[in-house]
Amino acid sequence: DFLDGLINTVSCDCKNLVILLTHETLERIWCAAEIASAILNGVTVVPIRCNDWPGISDEFLAGLDTVWTNDQLTEVAAAGIELSDIKAAYIALRDMKMLTLDRNADMTVHSDIFHEALSLCDDLRFTVSDVVCQ
């Protein structure tokens, strides 16, 4: 199953998860499962909030059980991620230091954010100077 494999990859094979937070990110079940898996398993998380990201309010957290269908929640539960795990991960995410990306900014700004995100990642197989941005 794709979702189970995705969660397993994040929890076992990833050292870093860079999250591009838009107005839709936290409402996508696959993103929710990846974020929860990363945080539950001590993966370094580097959140980048875009200018359309609404943040994580108490109201959003309180209504989290209505965001996904029962089938979606059952699928992630079968892969080891419960709704309570997603909620706990979102609370942890809300408290993390975040980079900010203005999606309307020029490519120089985007490149700077990209390099900053890479510098916050742990144990990369390459250095930031190895990455070429055009």
**Across 2-15, average pLDDT:** 64
Cα dihedral 86, 88, 85, 35, rounded to 10, equals 50
pLDDT at residue 1 is higher than 70:
no
pLDDT at residue 44 is higher than 80:
yes
Q: pTM of the prediction? A: 0.85
pLDDT at residue 7 is higher than 80:
no
- The pLDDT score that the predictor gives to residue 14 is 78
- Is residue 38 within 8 A of residue 9, CB to CB? The reply is no
Q: Kindly indicate the confidence band of residue 79, based on its pLDDT and cuts at 50, 70 and 90.
A: confident
- The pLDDT score that the predictor gives to residue 113 is 93
Average pLDDT, the chain: 88
Share of the chain above pLDDT 90, in %: 78
Torsion sign (Cα): 110, 113, 118, 119: positive
> In angstroms, how far is CA 27 from the centroid of its own chain?
11
Torsion sign (Cα): 9, 24, 26, 96: positive
Q: For 10-24, what is the HEC assignment?
A: HHHHCCEEEEEECCC
